[in-house]
A and B are shown apart, each in its own frame.
Chain A
Amino acid sequence: MAQQSPPPLGVRVSPPRIAGTTHKVQRRKVKNDTTSSQIINHASHLKNTHMNEMRKRKRDFFNRINYGYALTVAVIPALAVLYLLQGKEPIIPSKTSTLYFTIAYFHFTLLSFTSGYHRYFAHNSFKARCSFVQYYFAIFGSSIGLGSIRWWASLHRAHHHFTDDTERDPYLIKRGFIWAHWGWLIKKPKIVTFYTEFMEQEFPKKTEAPVNEALDNDLVYTQGNMTRNDYDENIQRLLVWQEKYYYPLHFLTTWVIPIAVTMMLGDSFAHGLLYPGVLRMFACQQALLSTESVCHLKSIHVSIPSQPFNDKNSSQNCHNPLVTLLTYGQGYQNYHHEFPHDYRSTASPLAFDPTKWFIWTLDKLGVVEELCRTPADLITQLRIQQQQQVINRMKSQLNWGTPISKLPKITPTDFKRIIASSSNKDRIYIVIQNIIHDITPFMDQHPGGVPLLKASHGKDATKAFYGGVYGHLTAAVNLLATMRIGVLDVGNEEEVWRRVVREEGDVDGSSGRQMQLYRTAEAA
């Protein structure tokens, strides 16, 4: 845990990041007011720098590949798949015991990653009571080949903090599906320094003195006999150790253990390498990588409201059972992005979510504690807010009639003159609640027939409209509002204005206090 005053992240990081662009812009400005030859010089200079950059990029190409991940994520699985494509071996292991071991090992390692790397280290969804759970997470999580905990979890946190941020989101979906799936692993990120600092801030290597000493004593929570600081130091030591021995651990869990077990079960070395080793690793990787790629694609509209909590970022709730299976139950990204430290991936108790079951079992066994559940009220609140936004958007696209405050005032005498004029002979004007409505375009559609409308022409039909003849409801009232043409000026200003306040207050501030609060929060 970081023990610093509120770290001015953006501030600390911005100088190296922005430097390139601002610098260039400034130089252009300076050169703007100079002579033409200077402009040409400047242009050629720009061209040269550009060319140099291109050359440099070409030269850098091999430097920018992340060979470790390229090997574990792309090359080795690709070789294995190519080997399978030759048709010498079946996709499913022919020996039953190997098959069972592969399936068991798949779940064993994937669970250590989803509940360990993801829920425990990246999101703090629960606390471990025994250190062997942490070691299980650290050792078998490395068998997936997605990097050490420090690296993966801090990138994952960056992804949650800066979702869809063009520069800082490590698996930015805007750079395309392939980038979000594999690219971010194979290519080194451009802003390495930023991520390194971010990692150092999220999972520091060095211990720092706690800031609020007095408070810690007050709010201390004990971990068996350990104090909070011991606990954090333990994790920190573990993370540093895991990062240091990541490759040996990876080699051990991906190669040595599967091969050894398979050979003990009486199968060959090659099968042990292929099935529980590489293909299992490949399957696990796909499950994890597709949550960040498939579940962030806007074009995947596989569920009815795919963004029930927040539609301002790219995360989607994928209710498609295929996606759910593919992502090992982690397809509900919209929920996860809103409630990241919930140990479940969705609130529904029926959802396919092995990670949740696994953590729950660990909790019942007493190995972990303090599972973090989002209160149901909070989920409903967010759902309501999102629906409200959608409705407001829909509302603003509809015609709700001219607001009363914008209607012209017409005195009864004028109104009678209007009716009497020959050009309005075939039109129908009806006054309801002191507002004049031109019913002519709607006449033929009136379900109660034209004679009723004609009989009320030029009269106040409020009573008849609201129940005297027929109690008109929602749709009819809405339609009526679209046909307003004026306010009848009978000297009763107060009543009209009361209605204005009620109606127009209703139209834009319908969500009331909550929206106001939200608005101020957004503005700040």
Chain B
Amino acid sequence: MESLEVADVTKLNALAAGTNKKTPRIVAAGLGGRLMGTRDLVKITAEQVTQDSLESIAEKDAREKEHFTKNKHISEKPWTLSNFHQHLNWLNMILVVGFPAFGVYSAITSPPQWKTAVLGFTLYILSGLSITAGYHRLYSHKSYSAALPVRLFFAFFGAGSIEGSIKWWSHSHRIHHRYTDTPRDPYDARRGFWFSHMGWMLTKANPKNRARADISDLSSDWVVSFQHRHYLVIMLLSAFVLPTLIAGIFWGDYWGGFIYGGILKTFVIQQATFCVNSLAHWIGLQPFDDRRTPRDHFLTAFITFGEGYHNFHHEFPSDYRNALKWYQYDPTKVVIWALCKVGLAWNLQTFSQNAIEQGLVQQQQKKIDRMRNKLNWGATVDNLPVWDRSEFNARAKEEGLIIISGIVHNVKAFIKEHPGGQALVRASLGKDATKAFNGAVYAHSNAAHNLLANMRIAVIRDGDINGNTFALQQEFLDKEKLA
């Protein structure tokens, strides 16, 4: 029989990592390249990726261990007083911890003018939405298409939140989605809250956890390439120069504009974004799938412009929504929807309601099954001994037995607790009470059926009058055969 060609996993991985093409620059050159400290992390070929994913984890670990015994990377050495400075990524330390600390200090010493505060808040919203609606949902997940002005807006204000260029951000985000909860995940949530929050960018990463994702679609967008090439200039303009100038020229508050509109705004947005990586894998419910760490929580959503419904997002990444219910907080969704209505965005991607509800139902089923296994549901009918009617008759009166649906139940201990009164049970002792139980006297509830199942002790051979029809038939057939 002719067999089918099997898809070449290596080739597919090469596609997924984007290595089939002339390698586009993912990390900005020079200072920008070191900005997030990940230049080492993307040097990998498709062959390596494939090999790794196909080999067993233990085997791979052994090999890597052998490779790194002689020449351990700094991230594998223990932290000591003498080498902690080598562990840290000092540039990021200054950008993410140093500057904000300075900003907070200045803010405490000089309270803002209310105009400056409003400016800072406005810029916070603009830059934050650029990250969520632009960097995340538009560029990383391609969940819709947008007009040029919108893309320019996202590129400019997104740069102002100092989280790297679109290309870099989307690349690591795609890696995160592809390798969630594995060592390749840059913000691996299994390594603890602080690692996934800030630790991953403050320490030097282990190059053995390299990964790549295909971003060829982003490279073809000139806005993305332009932003990537001139990232430093755009970032400085958007993050610091713009708020300083606005506050300075219009109401003479140069310093306040710099502190509140620049540093503090950046700080808040950075922390919010980090929260998606840490908090959203940490608190909340898992209504769609509990095999991975992402979780849904209102609090995370509130901080991050609606990115907090992370369990849904990881199941249905290219959906432009993150929240489905009307009461869930997702302003980013509303913004994208409004852009669509205005005509600046189109091609909004949604997963079918069917698939979404399937996920919900399956997860609920899983939960119920887990609960079900903890409970005692009575002996299974297969495991019960088989009694003859005579045996039942002999023991029924003294042991308090009743037949219901062909099964002998010991109700002695229950007689007193029977809600319908003792008399009814007493009257049926030693008898077949199937009809009375199932409705002739009282149609018992599910609870009663469950309770009854716990009292099973045996199966009766001819439970009903018609119960022995089969045996008789068999006998008859046997006789016929003999004849």
Contacts and interface: CB of A to CB of B under 8 A. Distances in A.
Interface of A: 1-10, 123-124, 161, 202, 211-212, 214-216, 218-219, 221, 309-310, 337-341, 370, 372, 374, 377-378, 380-382, 384-388, 391, 394-395, 398-400, 411-413, 415, 430-431, 444-449, 451-452, 455-456, 458-464, 467-470, 473-475, 478-479, 482, 488, 490-491, 510, 513-514, 517-518, 520-521, 524
Contacts of B357: 394, 398
Given A9-B441, A310-B445, A395-B361, 14 more contacts: A6-B436, A7-B441, A212-B397, A309-B446, A384-B368, A411-B2, A447-B177, A447-B317, A449-B16, A459-B5, A474-B363, A478-B359, A479-B351, A518-B446
Given A382-B450, A384-B375, A391-B361, A475 B315 contact: yes
A520 B407 CA distance: 13
13 contacts: A2-B424, A7-B424, A380-B371, A415-B4, A449-B217, A452-B16, A459-B5, A475-B356, A490-B1, A490-B4, A491-B1, A513-B380, A514-B377
Contact of A482 (B354, B372, B416): B354
Nearest to B428: A6
Given A6-B424, A470-B16, A444 B349 contact: yes
Contacts of B292: 473
Given A372-B417, A452-B16, A463-B7, A219 B412 contact: yes
B354 A380 contact: no
B422 A455 contact: no
A475 B12 contact: no
A507 to B, nearest CB: 11
A470 B434 CA distance: 55
Contact of A475 (B54, B216, B351, B380): B351
A517 B9 contact: no
Interface in B296-336: 315-318
Contacts of A474: 288-289, 291, 315, 358-359, 362-363
Interface in B428-483: 428-429, 433-434, 436, 438, 440-442, 445-447, 449-451, 453
Contacts of B423: 1-4, 211
Contact of B446 (A385, A411, A520): A385
Contact of A469 (B53, B177, B291, B433): B53
A347 B316 CA distance: 38
Given A211-B427, A514-B372, A475 B316 contact: yes
Q: Would you list the 7 A-B pairs with minimal beta carbon distance, nearest first?
A: A459-B7, A468-B9, A341-B419, A461-B7, A456-B7, A478-B358, A475-B315
Contact of B4 (A378, A431, A510): A431
A214 B16 contact: no
Nearest to B13: A469
Nearest to A313: B445
B429 A445 contact: no
Contact of B53 (A310, A412, A467, A510): A467
B3 interface: yes
A468 B50 CA distance: 7
Nearest to A385: B446
Contacts of A1: 421-423
Contacts of A463: 6-7, 9, 54
B242 interface: no
Most B Cβ at <10 Å: residue of A211, A372, A413, A468: A468
B349 A412 contact: no
A197 to B, nearest CB: 14
B69 interface: no
A482 B355 contact: yes
Contacts of B13: 468-469
Contacts of A385: 446, 450
Given A215-B426, A387-B368, A469 B16 contact: yes
B372 A384 contact: yes
Interface of B: 1-7, 9, 11-13, 15-16, 50, 53-54, 141, 177-178, 214, 216-217, 288-289, 291-292, 315-318, 349, 351-352, 354-365, 368, 371-372, 375-377, 380-381, 397-398, 400, 405, 412, 415-417, 419, 421-424, 426-429, 433-434, 436, 438, 440-442, 445-447, 449-451, 453
Given A1-B423, A6-B427, A524-B434, A459 B447 contact: no
A228 B376 CA distance: 33
Given A6-B428, A395-B361, A398-B361, A459 B6 contact: yes
A106 to B, nearest CB: 29
Nearest to B141: A447
Given A124-B421, A378-B447, A412-B1, A464 B361 contact: no
Contacts of B438: 521, 524
A123 B419 CA distance: 6
Contacts of A374: 447
Contacts of A382: 446-447, 450
B7 A391 contact: no
Given A212-B429, A310-B445, A381-B377, A455 B2 contact: no
Contacts of A123: 419
A473 B316 CA distance: 11
Most A Cβ at <10 Å: residue of B357, B419, B434: B419
A338 B446 contact: yes
A221 B416 contact: yes
B4 A412 contact: yes
A378 B6 CA distance: 52
Contact of A451 (B214, B289, B412, B419): B214
A518 B442 CA distance: 16
A378 B451 CA distance: 7
A387 B360 CA distance: 13
Contacts of A8: 440-441
A226 B450 CA distance: 34
A340 B421 CA distance: 12
B405 to A, nearest CB: 6
Contacts of B400: 215, 219
B289 A475 contact: yes
B365 to A, nearest CB: 6
A22 B12 CA distance: 75
